[in-house]
Copies of this chain bind each other. A is one copy, B any other.
Amino acid sequence: MNQHSSLNRTIIQKLKTITGKVLVSDADRISYAYDATNLHYLPDAIVFPENQEQVSNILSLAQEAEFPVVPRGAGSGLTGGSLPVKGGLLVVLTRMNRIISIDMDNLVADVEPGVVTGIFHKRVQSMGLFYPPDPSSSAYSTLGGNVAECAGGPSAVKYGVTRDYVLGLTFVIPGGDIVQTGVRTAKGVVGYDLTRLLTGSEGTLGIITQMTLRLLPHPKCVQTLVVFYASMHKAAENVSKIIRKGLIPKTIEYLDHAAMACMPLDFPGGIPDEAKSMLIIEMDGAPGQVHTDIQDVIALVTESQAISVTKAENSLQAQSIWQARKAISPALYRYAPDKINEDIVVPRSLIPDFVDKVDELRHATGLTMVTFGHAGDGNIHFTVMLDKNDPVAKKKADTVIESIFDYTLALGGTLSGEHGIGITKSGYLYKELNPGEQYLMKQIKKAFDPKGILNPGKIFPEP
C-alpha cells in the first residue's frame, strides 16, 4: 500500500469484510489507474462489489472514514470521469452485470450497471427489440457508465441519447442510503426528476446499482448509403437539406478528408480520388418506407452534386462500412503520437461554419486537425494530432482548443455532446455555464455528498 493512502489497515480490513476481496498491490493499482484519456491516477485500493448492499456498506464506511470513492465500469470514458484523481477507493462495478429482466409487453429492461452495452444490444435484438444508445466503445463499455456519462452515439438524430432511455434508477448516496427513483412507464411526474439528474452526473452524486431502461421494437429494415463530396461544405450543407425535407435518418455520419485517409484501403466501393469528404447515411424503419426514404435521399444528394452515392448491397457490406468508420479513431495516431479529442456540438445547420473555422485554424497553425462525427445531431469529434513533447505544438494546440470552444459556444453549441466534463474539460466549464448555473450544481452536489467523498475533483474545477 502506498504511504499517502487515505485507506489505513483497518479500513482495508473492513472493505474485505464487505466485498470479500480488496486489491492493493502496486501491479493491481497500476492496472486500474487508466481510462481512455491516457491519463493515469493511482487508486489506493480496488473493490468489486457484487450487489447493492455491498455498495451501500462501502459508501457508509467511506462517509464515516472520509475517504474518496470513485465508481467505474469498463474505464472507457474519454474525459477522466472514472480516474481516482484524489486516490482513495476505486469501486469497479463490472461484477454487477445481470440483465435482470426484459419485459416485451411493456418494452422495459431491468439491468445492473456492469452489463456490457454490446451484450445488451445483442440480447434485446435477439428478442426483436432495440436499445438505441451506442457509443463507439459499446463492445466493452458498461450500461452504468453510459448512464453516468449520458452516452450518445451515431443515432441520436433520430433516437436521442441515453437520457431518453432511462426510466428509473436505484442508486446509493454517500452514507449508504439506497434511493430508488423514476418509474417503469413512459409517464411519471411524482416529485423532482432525480432519474435524469443522476443521468450524466458522472458518478459524482451516487453510485448506480440498477437501471430500468426503455426499449423500442427493432426496426425491420436498415439501409446504408455512402456519399462522397468534392468539398466539406457540400457534405455539411446536405445534412440540413435532408432534415429539412422531413427525412430523419437513423444516422448521418460525417468525415473530412483527413479522417477519410484513416479508413482501410479496402473500403467497400473504394474512395474516389477527388473526394474531400463523405457522409454515411442510414435510414431505418419498415421496409417499404425505408426504400422510399432512401430513394428520396439519393435524389437529394445527386441534385446537390455529390461525386458518388452508393447503397450498401447487404448487411455484410453495411457492417464493413461501419467497421471502417469505427477504425478511424485509433488510426489517427498515424498523424502524430498524441491526440486531443473534443466532442463539441453545434446546431447542425451551422456545421459548414464550424468546418470553415477549422480550416482557418489549420492554416494559421499548421497543425493536423481531423473532424468527423455525428453530423445529424451536430456532434463533431474535433481532433488535434500532435506530439505533446513539442512545446510549441502543445501551446498552439491549447490555443486552438480554446478558439474552437469559444466558436462552438458562439454558434449556440455545447462543449460536450456525449463524453462529459470529467477532468479534461473542467477548466473550460466556466465558458458554457453561467455562475448561477454552476452555483446550483454545486449546491446539488453538496446535498447528495456533503463531505465530497464521491468522485472528487470531477466536473467542477478545483478552486
Check A105 against B436 for contact (C-beta < 8 Å). Answer: no
Docked Cα-Cα span, A201 to B419, in Å, equals 27
A109 to chain B, nearest CB (A): 13
Residue of B nearest to A158 (CB): B186
Q: Which segment, of A36-44, A173-181, A320-328, faces chain B?
A: A173-181
Check A243 against B105 for contact (C-beta < 8 Å). Answer: yes
Instruction: Return the contact of A459 from the options B183, B191, B289, B432 (Cβ within 8 A).
Output: B191
Number of interface residues of A (CB under 8 A): 93
Interface string of A317-351 (1 = CB under 8 A from B): 00000000000000000000000000001111100
Check B244 against A104 for contact (C-beta < 8 Å). Answer: yes
Residues in B with CB closer than 8 Å to A72 are: none
Check B200 against A197 for contact (C-beta < 8 Å). Answer: no
Instruction: Return the contact of A163 from the options B150, B193, B247 (Cβ within 8 A).
Output: B193
Interface string of A74-86 (1 = CB under 8 A from B): 0000000000000
Residues in B with CB closer than 8 Å to A240 are: 105-106
A61 to chain B, nearest CB (A): 18
Instruction: Return the contact of A191 from the options B178, B348, B437 (Cβ within 8 A).
Output: B437
Residues in B with CB closer than 8 Å to A128 are: 246
Residue of B nearest to A421 (CB): B190
Spell out A's residues near B (CB within 8 Å): 103-108, 128, 149-150, 152, 156-157, 160-161, 163-164, 173, 177-181, 183-194, 196-197, 199-201, 205, 216-218, 220, 240, 243-244, 246-248, 285-286, 288-289, 292-293, 345-349, 374, 377-379, 412-421, 425, 429, 432-434, 436-441, 443-448, 459
